[in-house]
Amino acid sequence: MTTREKFSAWGLLRHGLSRSPWERMWDHHDLAPSYDVVIVGGGVHGLATAYYLARNHSITNVAVVEKSYIGSGGSGRNTAIVRSNYLTPEGSRFYDRSVELYEGLADDLNFNVMFEQRGHMTLAHSDSSLRTMRWRAEVNKLEGIDSSVISPEDVKQLAPFLDITDHPRYPILGALWHPPGGIIRHDAVVWGYARAAAALGVHIHQETEVTGIDIAGGKVTGVQTSRGAIATGTVVNCTAGWASLIAAMADVTLPITTRPLQAAVTEPVKQFLHPVIVSGSLHTYVSQTSRGELVFGASVDPFASYSTRGSLEFATGLATHVLELMPGLANMRLLRQWAGLCDMTPDFGPVIGPTTTPGFYVDVGWGTYGFKAGPVAGESVADMIANGRPGELIAPFGLDRFEAGTLTAEKGAAAVGH
């Protein structure tokens, strides 16, 4: 196990003066013939799982296998919003732990993930959405989460660019206000986990694609990759949009469809928007980075696809909705659009736990919430693998719930996601 040089202002100063290079964040390794655990997918879920396996359970003979570069999937394509104001107690509890971990992550990983808790505001444009906001707020309060319904005047106070005047169609009747929510540097979270995991001995294999999963006697025995075979009794599927394809290699069928989720960013302008703004009815969420860009997201694409090329109708629809909320922004310019792949489930809850194939675990079905859940999912999956069974936090999200007909109730909140 290697240790990493500590990052700090002094380190910065020292390197600045000596102009000496920094240590590598993570190293290259050849594939070992076998690992105790092979994690498929080098995103925040996979890397966090590896990190907590090593840190919390001293399981360090672990490989993270990534077909491209780390964070190249959803982890590097999401809009980096973090919140815990979910509709159901199990959801809120789960994401609340995630926020807690995010708050301590910079210290924990000695890597500044730049978590800015600017507050998260979900606008209500109708009585029914106002009712849903109150529903969420009341459940959140019972879970000890800072969440409440605020008036249009409060909304204007917190985000002066919002138009709270009387639209016929999408009036702002109030909002769900969640101060601990905010934005974070998604790449930094990926790199921080990778660096910390590598420091504990985890092997991170980039540009290594999983081509098959070996099964003997009904159990997982290894993984085939583009760089060779690995023997292992434990495989964790953390591949989000590609989850069904990896699961199929282990003869597991999932209740998942892959939907592109598009996002976009504008040119930078001087700071004018502090909180994260979400409109469920308009399928739009907006935040301004410290660089001055507006980051936009919307709902998933209208049809399933593994394509990440994005569409024009996303951009036009998005602009229409953003201007409905903030009409002053008509001459801001959209700079870049992209898409990630979301693993959508019928009840908008994740699928996390063991499967019908012993040794094959899934941490998938996160849909549009995956990034927010990264730390707690990693912690929980690591715990599950170490102890052989799912812990309390993730118990409600097992794959078996679909055949049992005990779906989670996030459905109601999904419409006002992110």
- CB atoms near residue 205 (< 10 Å): 23
Rank residues 159 and 384 by Cβ distance to other proteins and give the closer one: 159
Rank residues 76 and 385 by Cβ distance to other proteins and give the closer one: 76
Rank residues 182 and 390 by Cβ distance to other proteins and give the closer one: 182
Q: Which two tokens stand for residue 1?
A: 């196990």
Sorted by sequence, the CB contacts under 8 Å of residue 382 that are 6+ apart come out as 49, 51, 52, 53, 56, 57, 59
Rank residues 22 and 58 by Cβ distance to other proteins and give the closer one: 22
Q: Are 418 and 348 in contact (CB under 8 A)?
A: no
Tell me how far, at minimum, the Cβ of 205 lies from other proteins, in Å: 13
Question: Please, what is the end-to-end C-alpha distance for the chain in angstroms?
Answer: 38
| Strand 276-279, strand 120-124: pairing | parallel
Tell me how far, at minimum, the Cβ of 51 lies from other proteins, in Å: 16
Nearest to 283 by CA among 161, 416, 414, 162: 416
Rank residues 23 and 33 by Cβ distance to other proteins and give the closer one: 23
Whole-angstrom distance, CA of residue 261 vs CA of residue 368: 8
Rank residues 230 and 254 by Cβ distance to other proteins and give the closer one: 254
Q: Can you name the residues that pair with 312 across neighbouring β-strands?
A: none
Rank residues 31 and 245 by Cβ distance to other proteins and give the closer one: 245
Q: How far out from the chain centre does Cα 324 lie?
A: 27
Whole-angstrom distance, CA of residue 408 vs CA of residue 410: 6
Q: What is the maximum alpha-carbon separation in the chain?
A: 66
Whole-angstrom distance, CA of residue 245 vs CA of residue 172: 42
Q: Which two tokens stand for residue 111?
A: 């890597």
Rank residues 33 and 412 by Cβ distance to other proteins and give the closer one: 412
Tell me how far, at minimum, the Cβ of 302 lies from other proteins, in Å: 6
| 170 HSE (CA, 13 A, CB side) | 19
Tell me how far, at minimum, the Cβ of 283 lies from other proteins, in Å: 14
Tell me how far, at minimum, the Cβ of 327 lies from other proteins, in Å: 4
Tell me how far, at minimum, the Cβ of 385 lies from other proteins, in Å: 25
Rank residues 39 and 139 by Cβ distance to other proteins and give the closer one: 139
Task: Please tell me what DSSP assigns to residue 346.
Answer: T
Whole-angstrom distance, CA of residue 131 vs CA of residue 193: 39
Nearest to 300 by CA among 352, 246, 240, 245: 240
H or E element in which residue 40 lies? strand 37-40
Distances (CA, A) of 87 to 78, 127, 147, 348: 21, 17, 11, 11
Tell me how far, at minimum, the Cβ of 188 lies from other proteins, in Å: 5
| 315 HSE (CA, 13 A, CB side) | 14
Tell me how far, at minimum, the Cβ of 233 lies from other proteins, in Å: 26
Tell me how far, at minimum, the Cβ of 258 lies from other proteins, in Å: 6
Whole-angstrom distance, CA of residue 183 vs CA of residue 117: 7
Tell me how far, at minimum, the Cβ of 387 lies from other proteins, in Å: 26
Rank residues 256 and 382 by Cβ distance to other proteins and give the closer one: 256
